[in-house]
Amino acid sequence: MRVEEQVSSQEKQEIVDRILSSRHFQRSERLSSFLQHICELERAGRSEEINERNIGYAVFQLPEDFDPTVDGIVRSHASRLRRKLELYYLHEGGQETVRIFIPRGGYLPRFVNERKGSNAVESELDSNSIVATSTIHKAATSEPENISASPPRTRWRWAFAIAATIVAGAATVFVVASWRRAHSAASVWETMFTSDRQTLIVPGDSSLVMWQQMQRRNVSLQEYITGSFTHEVRGSAIEQSTADMLVSRRYTSILDLNIVHSISEIAWGMHQSPLLRFARDIRPNDLKDRNIVLIGSAETNPWSHMFEGSMNFVLMKDQNDTTYTVMNKRPMTGEPDSWRSDPTDQLHTAFCKVTFTTGSGSADSNALILEGTSTAGTECAWEFLADTKQMAHLRTLSHAKGNRMPHFEVLLRTSNLAGDATANTIVASRILP
């Protein structure tokens, strides 16, 4: 008898209902629809209908003749769904006896009853997922000292492992909040998108992240603007060649682009058209008399350095041990002078920061900066803006009246599992002048 037959139809429905009502899935409508669709077909004995084309049509409203080899939306969401299930069983579903697995290479859900000795089957069903997660984790936390001591082929593998880490992080990216949810922070957007001022949206420079990790040093804004950092490349000939290759590419993450798309939809709903620019193409004059949205910490978007003078919480990356420190310039009662994020733990604490402050061009311009100590941190920053309760809490603290949101800075904590953020909590906040 197959293991999934040991789980009754009623038990299957009950576990699906509990998962869909959990906090990890309540904010992921598309992933919830994905899981519900394939589980309903499996319970109805229609497993032969669970394929990429059918899911694309039923869940993503794609045309019936869409080409899965061209559009990978089903595959990318399936990867995210597997990780959301991992998050559920790690937290709210920690005591569940029935587990749902979606083995890689397909979309047919498997129901495993752990009370009936299914550990071996569980390992077999999801071994690919475990190996993939382990590989991503190792790539992200490799010690730089091992690079210089490795043979040339290993060094090349290391360079592309970093690239794979970014791609994998993008593959695990969240379903972006709908316009209605994001509009809960209407006063922020009404300030950012006005008819008398253009707004510039700048996603992060992923190539720069890889370059800094490989060279084990941070790049200043001045070096980034002039490009002088490319003149001081350390390491062997092959490492220098790889570094040159990285800075010649213009990579950004799908996570950042999803945020760009969602923010653009908000702007379009307000009859405004924001401008999109790659971080490396920006010059200081471009920021004059414009509002700006920066996505990413200073490691991935050095333009964030321009606003650190007005910030209380500053994210600092140590390229030697890959840890992040959040500096607290002026601690309030009960606050430490810093917080630390260590990526060596598979389920580590990630921090994110949202800063809404005066722009660099004039007192009437505004800057919105979304920073994170990891991919999960960037996700956390965006989800904060879409959280009605948290935004309302911030308004209460600021004693704000009317429709205008005051300038603020808020630091949040979340947990990271394979690039995905769990629920976040506010660590500290400041109302800026």
Full 3-state SS string of 238-293: HHHHHHHHHHCCCCCCHHHHHHHHHHHHHHHHCCCCCEECCHHHCCHHHHCCCEEE
pLDDT tens, position by position, 236-295: 888 888 888 888 888 898 889 989 988 998 888 888 889 999 999 998 888 888 999 999
For 304, phi and psi rounded to 5 degrees? -60, -25
CA distance 23 to 177: 14
Residue whose C-alpha is closest to residue 206's, from 254, 255, 251: 251
Angle, alpha carbons 68-69-75 (nearest 5°): 55
How far does CA 85 lie from the centroid of its chain? Answer: 17
Confidence of residue 92 (pLDDT cuts 50, 70, 90): confident
Residue whose C-alpha is closest to residue 324's, from 255, 369, 381, 377: 377
The mean predicted confidence, pLDDT, of the chain is 77
Region 102-111: mean pLDDT is 88
Which pLDDT score is estimated for 344? 58
Q: Does residue 41 surpass a pLDDT of 90? A: yes
CA distance 93 to 90: 6
CB 215 within 8 A of CB 242: no
pLDDT tens, position by position, 380-408: 888 888 776 667 666 666 665 555 678 89
CB 280 within 8 A of CB 240: no
pLDDT tens, position by position, 291-317: 999 999 999 999 999 999 889 999 988
Which pLDDT score is estimated for 234? 83
Q: Does residue 120 surpass a pLDDT of 50? A: no
Q: Does residue 142 surpass a pLDDT of 70? A: no
Confidence of residue 2 (pLDDT cuts 50, 70, 90): very low
Alpha-carbon distances, residue 404 vs 189, 304, 369, 428 (angstroms): 10, 23, 18, 21
pLDDT tens, position by position, 325-379: 999 999 999 999 999 886 655 556 788 899 999 987 667 889 999 998 887 778 8
Residue whose C-alpha is closest to residue 244's, from 255, 256, 254, 231: 231
Which pLDDT score is estimated for 135? 34
Q: Does residue 88 surpass a pLDDT of 50? A: yes
CA distance 252 to 202: 10
For 149, phi and psi rounded to 5 degrees? -90, -5
For 421, phi and psi rounded to 5 degrees? -95, 140
Residue whose C-alpha is closest to residue 171's, from 86, 253, 66, 62: 253
Residue percentage of the chain with pLDDT more than 90: 29
Is 0.75 surpassed by the pTM of this model? no
CA distance 151 to 200: 44
Q: Does residue 324 surpass a pLDDT of 50? A: yes
Confidence of residue 177 (pLDDT cuts 50, 70, 90): very low
Question: Which letter, b or e, does each residue of 228-253 get, where b requires 16 or more Cβ atoms within 10 Å of its Cβ?
Answer: ebeeebebeeebeebbeebbeeebbb
CB 413 within 8 A of CB 351: yes
CB 368 within 8 A of CB 356: yes
Which pLDDT score is estimated for 301? 93
Highest mean pLDDT among 17-21, 29-33, 110-114, 184-188: 17-21
Q: Does residue 139 surpass a pLDDT of 80? A: no
CA distance 309 to 412: 20
